[in-house]
Amino acid sequence: MSTTLPRLPVPDLRKTLDKYLTSLEPFLLEEASKKGLDDDALDASRRLRAQWADEFASGVGNLSLDRTSPNNWLNDNFWIKKAYMEWRAPLLINSNWWLAFQDDANIPVSEKDRQDGHFRTGFSRWQIKQAAGLLHRMLEFKIKLETQELYPDTTRTGLWLRESTSKMFNVARIPRPTYDTLSAVPPPTDPFTHDIVAMVHGWFYRVAVMESPSVSTDVGHLARYLEAVVSDAEQRMLDGEEPVLIGVLSADNRDTWSNNLQHFLSLSETNKMIHTTLSNSLMVLSLDDEIHKDPPSPTSPANQYYFDPHLHTIRSTTGNVGNRWFDKAFTLIVDPAARSGAMGEHSLCDALVPSIIAVYGIIQGIDESHFENDTPLPSRGQRWDRLDWVVDDFIKKECVKAKERADRIIKNSDDGVFWFSEYGTDWIKGVAKLSPDTFIQMALQLTWYRMQGQFTATYETALTRMFNKGRTETIRTLTRESRAFCLAMVDGRATAGSKRAALESAIKVHNRLTCEAATGKGIDRQHAPLFEDLLFGKSSCWKLCTSGLSAGPLFWGTGFGAMDEDCYGINYLVGPDMVKFGIESKFSSSLTSTSTFISTLAGVLRSMQNIFHLDVHPDNVASHL
């Protein structure tokens, strides 16, 4: 087998434009329905778009075809820059992904203990053990992948995963004016490539975690190093030293952060060294000193009282946002109750890659015998050291202002976990005989329509991982067929049979679009000039940004931020008998509500199941939530 993946193909221009015109159909139909347009007016609108497409094909579109880029025409030329690096919004919630890990059953901390806040403040020995265990396993995954003990180059998965995983370690995003860059890949001889940066009370520490490029430090010694770091930070607090929360600067607007970083680096060579250490280090480890706890809500399910605070801890809270470095590709997070998760910068790779690394880290659990180590804690300079920034009054004031802005972003995030436990892939595939992912996509379409009374463009992620340096393409969920399905489901005269037929038709089309997107035949990455068409803009204004990850048995929940104020960001995990949703919207928008979306989605999922069991329409058996 070849040791390289094929290059991402440049889609056929004429076929792509034809697909684009087809994707506009539901928007044309909605426009005609709302404005009362007759068939002649609708046809005229179609002809106008077709004319624009023809002009594009013979003009700038033909000139823009690029088959000469070295690796991947999309990444090499413009996609990462346009989609990520030019975006000036803070990475906090807006861009970074987050994963909340399942609790380790070997840790003797009951769910009630966590909820009652028995470990509410300070650090715990189980927190340190959990951090050391997860860190050791994740480094083991990296080593085994590099030595091809896992996912060898004889498989497509191995080729794609090795290249993608290389972007998760020893790299960071660097703020620059106008558009950001990525840090250069450090050589193996760089002393920082074998270290992590640990953040404790907002202070930074360098910790050596590798004995050689192919041998990680054993988990018992890792725990002792982390204990030494925590002990040092605790002593600093007792001595009255107050940390300057430098990390919160990375949560700010990218231009503001760029200006502050340049000032920061000009203060001292020490600051340049620390920033290089952060960029070149393997990853960041955030050890939080408090357990986040949301106030109970009488309308929330009991499990959300536990899951949501855990998810919010990983996403970031007003209490821990200063203990993060948002530019880093991968940050492992552990709180005093040993609740854990990961958060990372999105431009480097998509959340599937860190989720694979995380699963390897989580699945084994803690073995207490590894921690039977009573050796003295290593002194400062022996395997760990402080990374103390040089600051001035300007930077101190900027940290205060950045913290205020970050707090506003966090408080505006309406973020929740929803576990739908009435069925999952077993029923969808076994009884309904349909694709689980596409079934969930139709449920999200119907949920939006029931809430808003209108349709919206919906983005679903497709991975182009069969190609060299493959990333993503858009699957446009709103189609003529998915629109017809939603209308059938709210039509009191429609039979269960007609609703099933509409669902099956919508799913068939969506499956085809999924296959085309995954094989490099999508329509949204290469035709920027068409944004001049108002309908193209509307058809790519993603009020619903969605992404399925995996069955997710080892995750409590996952998430990413909504694209804008009146949008939703939705990640979901479809398991055999359960679907887990992570849903984010904004409190500031009167048009969105995560709790309302959850309750409506629950009703939709029940109503969709009912059309396979009953010969009546679902509104007779499931309330219009």
Query: 560 near 568, Cβ under 8 Å?
Result: no
Instruction: Write down the pLDDT at residue 65.
Output: 47
Compute φ and ψ for 338, nearest 5 degrees. 65, 15
473 vs 141: CA distance, rounded Å:
27
**Distance (Å, rounded) from C-alpha 183 to C-alpha 62?**
34
What pLDDT score was predicted for residue 185?
86
Helix, strand or coil for residue 397?
A: helix
Report domain 13-68+417-620's class. alpha beta
- Bridge-based pairing of strands 331-334 and 340-344 is antiparallel
Q: What is the predicted pLDDT for the residue at 112? A: 47
Q: What's the pLDDT score for residue 533?
A: 54
Phi/psi of residue 135, each to 5°? -60, -45
Fold agreement between 13-68+417-620 and 98-411: yes
| 346 labelled catalytic | yes
pLDDT tens sequence across 466-514: 555 556 667 778 888 999 999 999 999 999 999 999 999 999 998 888 7
Q: Are 425 and 574 in contact (CB under 8 A)?
A: yes
pLDDT at 538: 57
423 within 8 A of 292, measured Cβ to Cβ? no
Radius of gyration of the chain (CA): 25
What per-residue confidence (pLDDT) applies to 63? 43
DSSP 386: E
Note whether 414 and 586 are within 8 A (CB): yes
Q: To 10 degrees, the CA torsion angle through 87, 89, 91, 96?
A: -70
Q: Which fold has domain 98-411?
A: Chloramphenicol Acetyltransferase (3.30.559)
Q: Of 172, 155, 152, 74, which Cα lies nearest the Cα of 464?
A: 74
What is residue 532's predicted lDDT score, i.e. its pLDDT?
A: 53
Residues in the chain where the model's pLDDT stays below 70? 1-21, 23, 32, 35-79, 109-121, 153-155, 158, 295-305, 462-473, 517-540, 614-625
pLDDT at position 501: 97
Which residue type, as a one-letter code, is found at position 163? E
Residue whose entry in the numeric block shows the structure tokens 């913290």: 403
Report domain extents, the chain: 13-68+417-620, 98-411
pLDDT score for 6: 62
The one catalytic residue in 275, 346, 510, 617 is 346
